[in-house]
Amino acid sequence: MSKAVIEVSGLHKVYEGAVPVKAVNGIDLTITEGEFTALKGPSGCGKTTLLNLLGGLDQPTSGSILIDGTDITGLSDNELIDFRLHNIGFVFQAYNLIPVLSATENVSFIMLLQDRPKEERLARAEQLLKAVGLAGKEDKRPGQLSGGQQQRVAVARALASKPKFVLADEPTANLDSESTAKLLDIMEQLNREENMTFVFATHDDRVIAKAKRVVSISDGQVISDSAK
Amino acid sequence: MILKVAWRNIWRSRIRSIIVLSSIAIGIWAGLLIIGFSFGMNNERTAAAIGATLGHSQAHSEDYLQDPSPSAVIAPEAYENLVAALEEQPFVTGYAPRTMLQGMVASAKQTRASRIIGVNAESERTNTTISTYMQEGDFFETRVRKGVVISEKLAEKMGLGMKKKMVLTFQDHNGIIHKATFRVSGIYRTLNAAWDELNIYVQQKDVERIIGTPLIHEVLISYDKSEDTEEKTASISAQVAPPTVITSWKQNSPELGFADDMMGIMLVLVLGIIMLALLFGIINNMLMAVLERRRELGMLMAVGMNKRKLFQMILIETLMLGVVAGPIGMLLGDLSIRVMMNVGLDLSTKKDGLAELGVQSTIYPEVVPEYYLVMAGMVILTALVAALFPAYKALKLNPVRAIRGN
């Protein structure tokens, strides 16, 4: 049996205001190593909030989040930053690459934050860019790449730190069909060949179709959880 | 790679960066010019005063320093001891004994109070530059009995010219009043209008004939170089017994000494003001850079860039502005000073006002290498301080909101 990478229980996130908003309302969820999971639901259902909580980017109002056995809700800001650096890969909707760096430099930057030696950084960046189909584009800056290519660089960057899992928030939202298909193929291949765990927040049917497990969220609650 | 990122980030907004780099370079250029001209003006003023009238140090009797009366003389035996002490010092290049009398000078037009300086013409010419300031006649080179050298300003006020007579009235060391007619044999104009208005020169031997005895109130002492004047003066003092006292030019002309001491402080203040202006320019530039890159900074925090590294990145980026603009400003400043050292800054329209300050109308700047280091240090310090607020704003970003662009 595969080991649980993420274990969430009794998770709540309430945004205080004139009218408190329950963005996450009592979610229990376990994701095991090697899963290719899509969190689906309409806009405002709470999937991005859940993803931010899983990534330690936001703190829950109550509940616990165990990542590989560590309860990240008890970590300080600095501990969380360090935890994210070594355990979680992120892919954002808007790619968020550093525009002044080349593809190789963008990928290796995260390894620089981990204080890895230069030779290792460059070798891994080259290997990852090749894996996402960007061999030959290593020296291109984000502005010289298409949206799909930029998102593939972002995937390579997410994998560069050798994380326990990758969180991807609407990774295909800005991509055309061809780029989306290619990106999904690459992520599926990485999942299959390297047993990398992927969790997507999406409402893109193309992503949902590729996912091996689909967790439907509505009003901050899991309404269905199905594995293919 | 952090350095590479910082360098490339500077050029992301090329025009904005060029503007802020230019403002830093211009600020440094202006600062160096101010330093160069201030030192040039002050050193020239000091050198002129030391050369023409003050000497590097002076010897008096203790009484003279308390009350410069005619009776406060350096006694003949004390003078002999002083001369012996001076001749032992390798850095003393010469000395000139003076008779200093307060008196009245009268022409057909006016009577005025004046200080009458009785000089040994040859020693005064050798040890001061007063003879180079002659506008008419000479400094007692032509044999004239009872000649007087007055300033151009005094001549104008008293309606005197060459070979005109004037009456000098003064008191000797015994309190006896003497009156004698002198003839103008030379007219001088130094850089110091205040000195010119008060002082007239006569020959000691003429005063001696009138009074009947030689009187020495003051001995002007010249050194080989103007550096370490205080130490050299102290070294002579150690060889001279009371009541003879040796005082340096800073003690004899406190206003010049004060200006010399204050200039360093004033220049640091001026540089501080320039840096303060630059500070806000750099803060503005970096703050805009941070706010424009909110998404990117949010992403970096999200993927694991800790606060120390984020702070470091912004600090390096800000320092780089100073590191790039600093040498450009210094090079421009140095080149400008070296050009101006030959050309000079012509302020002849303010000639009279400058003369009151003892400064000539064309000012030549000087290169002051130690201030280049001060300037470099201040630029780095300014950049460091300027980085603090933008870095604080960056550290306060919430990664989730920043990634969304909020």
Nearest to A161 by CA among A224, A221, A109: A109
- What is the rounded CA–CA span in Å between residue B81 and residue B258? 32
Among left, alpha and beta (phi > 0; psi -120 to 50; other), residue A214 is: beta
**pLDDT tens digits for A174-189?**
888 888 888 888 889 8
Please give the full DSSP string across chain A, using - where no structure is assigned.
-PPEEEEEEEEEEEE-SSS-EEEEEEEEEEEETT-EEEEE--TTSSHHHHHHHHTTSS--SEEEEEETTEEGGG--HHHHHHHHHHHEEEE-TT----TTS-HHHHHHHHHHHTT--HHHHHHHHHHHHHHTT-TT-TT--GGGS-HHHHHHHHHHHHHHT--SEEEEESTTTT--HHHHHHHHHHHHHHHHHH--EEEEEE--HHHHHH-SEEEEEETTEEEEEEE-
Nearest to A65 by CA among A167, A145, A143: A167
Identify the CATH homologous superfamily for domain A4-227. P-loop containing nucleotide triphosphate hydrolases (3.40.50.300)
Distance from B296 to chain A by nearest Cα, in Å? 6
- What is the rounded CA–CA span in Å between residue B73 and residue A175? 101
Distances B333 to A45, B40, B310, B322, B369 between C-alpha atoms, Å:
63, 15, 34, 15, 12
Q: What angle do CA A164, A166, A167 make, to 5 degrees?
A: 130
> Which contiguous run of DSSP H or E holds residue B65?
helix B62-66
Report chain A residues whose CB lies below 8 A from the CB of B400: 52, 57-58
- What is the rounded CA–CA span in Å between residue B314 and residue B392? 10
Interface contact A90-B302, CB threshold 8 A: yes
Give the N- to C-terminal CA distance of chain B in Å, as an integer. 28
Locate all alpha helices (DSSP H) within B159-293, ordered by sequence.
193-198, 204-211, 229-239, 249-252, 254-292
pLDDT at B369: 85
Domain residue spans in chain A? 4-227
pLDDT at B243: 87
Sign of the torsion angle spanned by Cα atoms A208, A214, A218, A223: positive
Interface contact B4-A105, CB threshold 8 A: yes
Q: How many CA atoms lie within 13 A of B359 on its CB side?
A: 23
Interface contact A96-B299, CB threshold 8 A: yes
- What is the rounded CA–CA span in Å between residue B218 and residue B124? 12
Q: What is the distance, to the nearest Å, from the Cα of residue B153 to the centroid of all Cα atoms in its chain?
A: 24
Smallest Cβ–Cβ distance between A84 and the set B4, B304, B400 belongs to B304
Interface contact A99-B296, CB threshold 8 A: yes
Nearest to B214 by CA among B172, B265, B261: B172
Report chain A residues whose CB lies below 8 A from the CB of B312: none
Smallest Cβ–Cβ distance between B400 and the set A58, A84, A112 belongs to A58
The structure tokens listed for A134 are 């960007």
Interface contact B295-A96, CB threshold 8 A: yes
Average pLDDT for residues A26-46, to the nearest whole number?
92
**pLDDT tens digits for B253-312?**
888 778 777 888 888 888 889 999 999 999 998 999 898 889 999 999 998 899 888 999
Q: How many CA atoms lie within 13 A of B23 on its CB side?
A: 19
Report whether A128 contacts A160 (CB < 8 A).
yes
- What is the rounded CA–CA span in Å between residue A29 and residue A64? 11
pLDDT at A1: 59
Going by the DSSP 8-state scheme, the letter that residue B348 receives in this structure is G
pLDDT at A81: 92
Cβ atoms < 10 Å from Cβ of B276: 11
Residues of chain A with pLDDT > 90, as a percent, come to: 63
Q: Which residue of chain B is at minimal alpha-carbon distance from A141?
A: B8
The amino acid at residue A120 is E
Going by the DSSP 8-state scheme, the letter that residue A132 receives in this structure is T
pLDDT at A38: 93
Smallest Cβ–Cβ distance between B400 and the set A52, A81, A161 belongs to A52
Smallest Cβ–Cβ distance between B303 and the set A90, A99, A105 belongs to A90
Going by the DSSP 8-state scheme, the letter that residue A43 receives in this structure is T
- What is the rounded CA–CA span in Å between residue A159 and residue B218? 89
Rg of the Cα trace of chain B? 31
User: Can you tell me whether residue A198 is helix, strand or coil?
Assistant: strand
User: Can you tell me whether residue B343 is helix, strand or coil?
Assistant: helix
Measured CB to CB, residues of chain B less than 8 Å from chain A are 1-2, 4-5, 8-9, 12, 295-296, 298-307, 309, 399-400, 403
pLDDT per residue as tens, chain B (406 positions): 778 888 888 888 889 899 999 999 999 999 999 989 888 888 888 888 888 888 999 999 998 988 888 888 898 888 999 898 888 889 999 999 999 999 999 988 889 999 999 999 899 999 898 888 899 999 988 887 889 999 999 999 989 889 899 999 999 888 889 999 999 999 998 888 888 889 999 999 999 999 888 889 999 999 988 788 889 899 988 888 888 899 998 888 888 778 777 888 888 888 889 999 999 999 998 999 898 889 999 999 998 899 888 999 999 999 998 889 999 999 999 999 999 988 888 887 777 777 666 677 778 888 888 888 888 898 899 999 999 999 999 999 888 888 877 7
Measured CB to CB, residues of chain A less than 8 Å from chain B are 52, 55, 57-58, 77-78, 81-82, 84-86, 89-90, 92, 94, 96, 98-101, 105, 108-110, 112-114, 157-158, 161
pLDDT at B358: 66
Interface contact B303-A84, CB threshold 8 A: yes
Going by the DSSP 8-state scheme, the letter that residue A90 receives in this structure is E
Q: Which residue of chain B is at minimal alpha-carbon distance from A51?
A: B400
Interface contact A100-B8, CB threshold 8 A: yes
The structure tokens listed for B331 are 């090079």
Q: Which residue of chain A is at minimal alpha-carbon distance from B398?
A: A57
The burial of B348, by beta-carbon neighbours within 10 Å (0-12 exposed, 13-18 middle, 19 or more buried), is given as exposed
The mean predicted confidence, pLDDT, of chain A is 91
User: Can you tell me whether residue A136 is helix, strand or coil?
Assistant: coil
The structure tokens listed for B104 are 């009245």
Interface contact B303-A157, CB threshold 8 A: yes
Distance from B396 to chain A by nearest Cα, in Å? 12
Domain residue spans in chain B? 2-49+257-403, 57-225
User: Can you tell me whether residue B293 is helix, strand or coil?
Assistant: coil
Instruction: Decide: pTM greater than 0.95.
Output: no
| Prediction ipTM score | 0.88
Smallest Cβ–Cβ distance between B5 and the set A100, A114, A161 belongs to A100
Report chain A residues whose CB lies below 8 A from the CB of B4: 101, 105
Report chain B residues whose CB lies below 8 A from the CB of A110: 303-304
Distance from A197 to chain B by nearest Cα, in Å? 17
Please give the full DSSP string across B139-161, using - where no structure is assigned.
SS-S--TTEEEEEHHHHHHHT--
Report whether B155 contacts B187 (CB < 8 A).
yes
Interface contact A109-B1, CB threshold 8 A: yes
